[in-house]
């Protein structure tokens, strides 16, 4: 991801993602896993 570019549809820039570092990466991973697991529960 290149810094200084326009944000995507979500309004989040690469600068924000990079500044979040490992802490943000871990939180996003947990969020994605939680969403994935809730989707699996809905299918059952």
pTM: 0.68
pLDDT of amino acid 44: 59
pLDDT of amino acid 30: 98
C-alpha span between 4 and 29 (Å, rounded)? 24
Query: So where are the chain's domains?
Result: 11-44
Low-confidence ranges of the chain (pLDDT < 50): none
């Amino acid at each position: 991801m290149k810094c200084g570019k326009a944000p995507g549809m979500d309004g989040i820039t690469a600068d924000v993602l990079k500044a979040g570092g490992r802490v943000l990466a871990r939180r996003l991973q947990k969020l994605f896993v939680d969403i994935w697991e809730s989707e699996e529960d809905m299918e059952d």
